[in-house]
Structure 1
Amino acid sequence: MNPLAVSLAWHRLVLGLVLAGCTLLAQAITITDDRGRRLQFDAPPQRVVSLLPSSTESLCEMQQCQRLVGTDRYSNWPESVRSLPKVGGGIDPNIEAIVALKPDVVLLSVSSRVSDRLEALGLKVVALEPKTHADVRRVLNIIGDLFAVPREQGADRLWRVIDAAVQAAAQSLPPRARGARVFFEVSRGPYAAGPASFIGETLARLGVRNVVPADLGPFPRLSPEYLLRAQPELIMLSNRSAQPPALYPGWHHLAAIQAGRLCIFGPEQADVLVRPGPRMAEAARLMAACLSEKFS
């Protein structure tokens, strides 16, 4: 082979290797989770275990449901995820069951106590903590970036839907509902949705006032007597159990209860309301419907 041909072949080989390396670098994904940890993936994860219902829903709304190989016991939407293997709850997951699914990544809460154990077993963990509207938007970005979903098709699109729905819900309220003093119980305790929570922020955008002070945090546990002093004009209860809700002692003295200004959201509606993800648009409509009914 003449020297010129050898030289050209060598240059083609080097160019091919460089282009291949650039392609691999382009496919590599780097994200920072809500623990502040920087994680790198050679490509979008193909096998995913989600221990957060909101992450399960976000992933599916970005048309990536097919990547899920297992979820926590509470992930129940969309319908297709109900048939997936269940690996316990976010607080008490089954480590052996998760490892057996051979996931490329596990999505879980920052407060989960199993992150270190899973990582010690060689699994990659992305910890997320959406508590506010800004958190939800950031988490949507993280999930979209992790699975290489373009922002315009994924996170940005979902947030526009949420934002527009909250705005439309606010505009639908009757004048009497505006400025109403509201209490929202997230779960039995009572655990309340404070102004700093994503639920509290939605209520604020609807134009109502939260009887829980911001300094108590996003989801404080209150004494039942607290409401007797706060005297909200309307109460929203998230009843995630299938059992009829029971009022706390003394609550029958509340003016809101006596006036019938109580909205009880059953299990399916409660799931929508308490999950910081793509169904926040529907949650805003549910809250607005309650306010419109009780103040019409």
Structure 2
Amino acid sequence: MNKSSVFITWLACLLGVLIVNTNPALGHKPPIDEPVRIISLDGTVSEILCDLGLQSHLIGVDVTSTYPGSLKKLPKVGHNRSISAEGVISLKPTLVLTTQNAGTKPEIIEQIKSAGIKVISFQQEYSIAGTRKLIQDVATICQVASKAKPIIKKLDDDLTQVKKAINSPKVLFIYARGTGTMMVSGRGTQVEKMIELAGGVNATPDFENYKPLTAESLVTANPDVILLFDSGLESLGGADGLLKVQGIALTNAGRNGRIIDMDGHLLTGFSPRLGKALQELAQKITQKPKA
């Protein structure tokens, strides 16, 4: 019996007991070979499940689950911060997986649990060690612990290929959804940690989390590089559109055309592709613009 089959059998037994105990109205224990039906409410957890060979058990995901591309074919249950319990329950999952940082409201989690559905929320630390641990935790809870080892090894191999940026460029991250929604990243954010791991320095470390972008803050920060999600830069009309935002052209980044973008989940997910993400970010914040 292979590891995936062991996982199916073990989890079906466990969930059968849980469902009977939490929802007596069902009145019977499901057969031992009932397929495990998983919904993931976190893009990184979804990616790990696929790497573990368990994608066939996924029946729904949140909208942050964008990698691998095959996940786009699955039903979406909304953004993890605005999940509808009814939408999750309607898909009849036997297991819902998420992280404590995903932002799903506690009352939504309780509604899902009250329907007799097992919910597991993993702790996720945004660091290299935290990424290794999350991979191992997901594999362990799914009873395929040994499958974590090659995934972690690939992560570590990728990390050895990261060439950190030299001269510690100041990087400003702008979260944008059109010119009407523009925020800059401060201390303690996932983006700040990625910038530091890639050899850069957060250009706006004097506040926590995010705050609205202003022309004054841009001039004060005077970043060497401006970083956005690719979707955010697109919402502004590309680099040319961003340069029209008041204050951008007055920064070193604006004057030198140092505007870069990355896939949002790759940049902030701290997923098994963390090494690849850092390779890309380090290269982009180091690379000089073409003359």
When normalised by structure 1's length, the TM-score is 0.72
Match for 1:166 among 159, 164, 167?
Answer: 159
Partner of 2:98: 108
Q: Which runs of 5+ in 2 are unaligned?
A: 1-8, 16-31
The alpha-carbon deviation at position 222 of structure 1 amounts to 4.3
Partner of 1:203: 195
The CA deviation string for residues 86-113 of structure 1, in whole angstroms up to 9 with x for no partner, is 2222122232332122212112343211
- Contact 1:183-1:235 at 8 Å conserved across structures: yes
- Alpha-carbon distance in 2 for matches of 1:185, 1:73: 21
Match for 2:278 among 265, 284, 292?
Answer: 284
Partner of 1:262: 259
Q: Are 2:130 and 1:135 equivalent residues in the alignment? A: yes
Q: SS at the partner of 2:287?
A: helix
Structure 1 pair 187–159 and aligned structure 2 pair: CA distance change class (3 A): farther
- Alpha-carbon distance in 1 for matches of 2:142, 2:167: 41
Partner of 1:63: 53
The CA deviation string for residues 22-65 of structure 1, in whole angstroms up to 9 with x for no partner, is x98xx979xxxxxxxxxxxx99x821001111111111111111
**Letter paired with 1:74:** T
**Letter paired with 2:155:** I
Identity across the alignment (%): 23
Quote the RMSD (CA, aligned, Å). 3.2
Q: Are 2:170 and 1:185 equivalent residues in the alignment? A: no
Larger mean CA deviation between 220-229 and 61-70 belongs to: 220-229
Structure 1 pair 278–291 and aligned structure 2 pair: CA distance change class (3 A): same
Match for 1:120 among 111, 114, 117?
Answer: 114
Matches within 5 A, 1:8-157: 46-110=36-100, 111-113=103-105, 114-128=108-122, 130-133=124-127, 134-151=129-146, 153-154=147-148, 156-157=149-150
- Contact 2:172-2:226 at 8 Å conserved across structures: yes
The alpha-carbon deviation at position 68 of structure 1 amounts to 0.4
When normalised by structure 2's length, the TM-score is 0.73
Structure 1 pair 159–92 and aligned structure 2 pair: CA distance change class (3 A): same
Structure 1 pair 240–150 and aligned structure 2 pair: CA distance change class (3 A): same
- Alpha-carbon distance in 2 for matches of 1:260, 1:183: 13
Match for 2:210 among 220, 226, 244?
Answer: 220
- Contact 1:195-1:204 at 8 Å conserved across structures: no
Larger mean CA deviation between 103-112 and 159-168 belongs to: 159-168
- Alpha-carbon distance in 2 for matches of 1:59, 1:193: 29
The alpha-carbon deviation at position 187 of structure 1 amounts to 4.5
**Letter paired with 1:166:** L
The alpha-carbon deviation at position 178 of structure 1 amounts to 3.0
- Contact 1:240-1:271 at 8 Å conserved across structures: no
Q: Are 2:231 and 1:240 equivalent residues in the alignment? A: yes
The alpha-carbon deviation at position 295 of structure 1 amounts to 7.3
Structure 1 pair 209–144 and aligned structure 2 pair: CA distance change class (3 A): same
Q: SS at the partner of 1:286?
A: helix
**Letter paired with 2:221:** A
- Alpha-carbon distance in 2 for matches of 1:165, 1:295: 26
The CA deviation string for residues 221-266 of structure 1, in whole angstroms up to 9 with x for no partner, is 343332321111111111325532443322111121111111133x
